[in-house]
A and B are shown apart, each in its own frame.
Chain A
Amino acid sequence: MTNYIVSILTEGAIFGIMALGLNVIWGWSGDFDLAYYGYVAVGAYMTIVLTVGPAAAPAQYILGLQLPYPLAVVIAVITAMAVGLVVGLIALRHLRGIYFSIVTLGAVYVMYVFAGQYVPLFDGYNGVFGLFNPMGDWFGLDIYEYPWFLMGLCLLMFALVFLLMWRISGSRFGMALRTLREDERAAAAFGRDIYRLKLKGYVLGAGVGGFAGALFAAYLSAFNTSAWSPVEIIVLYSAVLVGGRGNIWGVALGVLIMGLLVQESTRFLPELPGLGELNTLHPEVLLALRGVVIGLVLVLFLRFRPQGLLPERRFVDKQPVLDTALQTA
């Protein structure tokens, strides 16, 4: 049971970092980016190929270095940001709304297909593996102590990313991103360089995603295309939506709700009367049932509470220009 709680908290913290990164792009900048999970994957893949050493005979992948884990994380984050920059340069130039979403969907599919099919990159569908307990021997931790260490590390990192996002949220940059979401033309009229600002936000989001991926790699100790499944992605987007796009407290709440409640709810399903035999009929039924629940939550929230449970606080102009102008006239 303790093991279970430790792993849930670790996963939740990593997931929370992912959601905070997505929130920069979808919540603040307002672009529904489907390529986001690609950056998580790039972070995870890169971390592993930078730490585990050269590939053994049948397997093959790029780099194969044996860098210390923290350095690998830094390089992985930079790589994710570089990939994000390329996608952003193309997709953010003129495209908004569903055209942006469609192009980012395309981008993530290209990444997915290449990761899965182009064997010399990350060994195709086999993926890369072998990142066992990074930094564990620095502190002399055994396999029983290590999960606690990783949990602590991930929770600490979540706290740091949250703090960073909290600072950004109230900063001029954070405000400017929101302005673009609300009214691009008005922002341009006030002299904002829209493309550049959006690109900055996008690359920041991609970097946070890559960082979450690097931690995810340490938690999973392996990464391949099946860790890149639609279920994970839909849960991530639902978490941001359910909590409240644009509000980092809301995003954290959404992660808590979706991660702990929906992910775990079907675990207790077989105990309900009449559903007991579902589990034995089809091994995938339980997973599919969970998928249906998550999809329905997403659709219902979009319909009945699109602003989420903890909506973003709207900034109210205390002295609207129009009123002042009228008073002086």
Chain B
Amino acid sequence: MNEALLTLGFALVTASILALSAVAFTLEYAVTNVANVSHGEILTVGAYAAYLVHERTGNAIAAAIAAALAGGFAALLMQAAVIGPFIRFGATPTIVFIATLGMSFVIQNTLVIFFGAANVAYTLDPGAPQHLGPFLLTPLDLEIIASAIAITFVLYLIISRTKFGKALRAVSQNRELARVTGINATRVAAATFFLAGLIAGYAGFILAESVGSFNPYFGFSFFLITLTAAVAGGLGKAFGTMVGAVLVGIILEFAGGYISASYNLAFAFAILAIVILVRPRGLFTNARRTVFE
């Protein structure tokens, strides 16, 4: 029992990172209706940016900000240079899916050219583990969880309370109708990608911290888990995605702890296949609702 609770504690850390990555992915999906396969590379770019800035300044907060900004601009560039033009040109979602897959390959290899393919070790001092209720967590773990909750809360406020959030919801529900009412869908999509990139870049930074190292391919393998969480929660639905992320995080951590961590991805995909086959719109949705219901 005690061990199970410990595992649950670690699962919360995984779930926090996963929730941020998945919510960013689902926002990208919401405004464009295409799955951005190069989403994982935003995390990778964030991790590299954090590492480079940390090396120069020695300041973890500066590194976190650098990760978020790098992620934001990377996502903006993806939208402006590839996804946006493809959508305007009328490409089907599958074509954009393939195009973003190609782009992910381009970004990975560009990173290899500049930084090499080797693993980069990157850890902050996690501090001494402390008992917190039944959990055993380091201060770093706690910071990761707290930051994920804070970011989620701010995101909730942005989407539900601001004019931009309203426009975002409108575009995600019906792009054409939103445009008829005078919303600049392209600009909303760009802003959403920037916002999603900020979150994903930061997620890349905390993922690198929690794993302890990264390489040009690390975002892509995490993307596969992100995809599982987002699909489980319902693509394009921010709230559902977060619940999906927590569930997937917990299942993965328990499966990894009790069976073997090397099969993690296989587990993720088993979950994914089952969810897609049984509840293709996600676990907690009825068809009509979108984004933050």
Q: Which residues of A contact B (CB under 8 A)?
A: 32, 90, 93-95, 97-99, 101-103, 105-107, 109-110, 113-114, 117, 230, 234, 237-238, 241, 282, 284-285, 287-289, 291-292, 294-296, 298-299, 302-303, 306
- Give A151 Cβ to nearest chain B Cβ, in Å: 30
Considering the chains assembled together, what is the distance between the CA atoms of A109 and B220 in angstroms? 12
Which of B98, B265, B273 is close to A113, meaning CB atoms less than 8 Å apart?
B265
Residue of A nearest to B108 (CB): A291
Q: Please determine whether B113 and A105 come into contact, CB atoms closer than 8 angstroms.
A: no
Which of B102, B105, B262, B266 is close to A302, meaning CB atoms less than 8 Å apart?
B102
Q: Please determine whether A284 and B35 come into contact, CB atoms closer than 8 angstroms.
A: no
Q: Please determine whether A303 and B106 come into contact, CB atoms closer than 8 angstroms.
A: no
User: Quick check: which of B45-53, B68-76, B89-97, B248-256 contacts chain A, the rest being far away?
Assistant: B89-97
Chief secondary structure at chain A's binding surface: helix
Q: Please determine whether A288 and B97 come into contact, CB atoms closer than 8 angstroms.
A: no
- Can you name 17 A-B residue pairings with CB atoms under 8 Å? A32-B98, A93-B277, A95-B280, A97-B93, A102-B35, A102-B272, A106-B268, A106-B272, A109-B266, A113-B263, A117-B260, A117-B262, A289-B109, A291-B105, A291-B108, A292-B109, A303-B99
Considering the chains assembled together, what is the distance between the CA atoms of A106 and B265 in angstroms? 9
Residue B103, interface by CB 8 Å: yes
Q: Please determine whether A292 and B106 come into contact, CB atoms closer than 8 angstroms.
A: yes
A-B interface, 8 closest residue pairs, ranked by CB to CB distance from nearest:
A106-B269, A291-B109, A295-B106, A298-B102, A288-B112, A295-B105, A288-B109, A299-B102
A contact residues around B276 at 8 Å (CB): 95, 99, 102-103
Add 15 more A-B contacts to A90-B273, A110-B270 (CB < 8 A): A95-B276, A95-B277, A106-B268, A110-B266, A110-B269, A113-B262, A117-B262, A285-B112, A287-B112, A291-B109, A294-B105, A295-B103, A295-B105, A296-B106, A302-B98
A contact residues around B277 at 8 Å (CB): 90, 93-95, 103
Considering the chains assembled together, what is the distance between the CA atoms of A97 and B112 in angstroms? 31
Residue B110, interface by CB 8 Å: yes
| A-B CB pair tally, cutoff 8 Å | 119
Which of B35, B224, B270, B273 is close to A98, meaning CB atoms less than 8 Å apart?
B35
- Give A251 Cβ to nearest chain B Cβ, in Å: 16
A contact residues around B126 at 8 Å (CB): none
Q: Please determine whether B105 and A230 come into contact, CB atoms closer than 8 angstroms.
A: yes
B contact residues around A303 at 8 Å (CB): 85-86, 89, 91, 99
Chain B positions 7 through 50: 1 when the CB is less than 8 Å from some CB of chain A, otherwise 0: 00000000000000000000000000011000000000000000
Considering the chains assembled together, what is the distance between the CA atoms of A296 and B99 in angstroms? 9
B contact residues around A107 at 8 Å (CB): 269, 273
Q: Assuming the A-B contacts A230-B105, A234-B105, are A97 and B269 also in contact, with contact meaning beta carbons closer than 8 angstroms in the complex?
A: no
A contact residues around B227 at 8 Å (CB): 102
Give the one of A97, A98, A99, A294 with max B CB within 10 A. Answer: A98
- Give A201 Cβ to nearest chain B Cβ, in Å: 17
Which of A93, A230, A288, A299 is close to B113, meaning CB atoms less than 8 Å apart?
A288
Residue B6, interface by CB 8 Å: no
B contact residues around A306 at 8 Å (CB): 91, 95
Residue of A nearest to B100 (CB): A299
Q: Please determine whether A102 and B263 come into contact, CB atoms closer than 8 angstroms.
A: no
Which of A101, A102, A282 is close to B231, meaning CB atoms less than 8 Å apart?
A102
Chain B positions 116 through 138: 1 when the CB is less than 8 Å from some CB of chain A, otherwise 0: 11000000000000000000000
Q: Please determine whether B108 and A282 come into contact, CB atoms closer than 8 angstroms.
A: no
Q: Assuming the A-B contacts A113-B265, A285-B112, A302-B102, are A32 and B94 also in contact, with contact meaning beta carbons closer than 8 angstroms in the complex?
A: yes
Q: Please determine whether B109 and A32 come into contact, CB atoms closer than 8 angstroms.
A: no
Residue B158, interface by CB 8 Å: no
Q: Assuming the A-B contacts A117-B262, A292-B113, are A302 and B269 also in contact, with contact meaning beta carbons closer than 8 angstroms in the complex?
A: no
Residue B82, interface by CB 8 Å: yes
Residue of A nearest to B221 (CB): A109
Considering the chains assembled together, what is the distance between the CA atoms of A234 and B116 in angstroms? 20
Residue of B nearest to A286 (CB): B113
Give the one of B93, B98, B108 with max A CB within 10 A. Answer: B98
Considering the chains assembled together, what is the distance between the CA atoms of A103 and B227 in angstroms? 11
- Give A37 Cβ to nearest chain B Cβ, in Å: 13
Considering the chains assembled together, what is the distance between the CA atoms of A103 and B270 in angstroms? 9
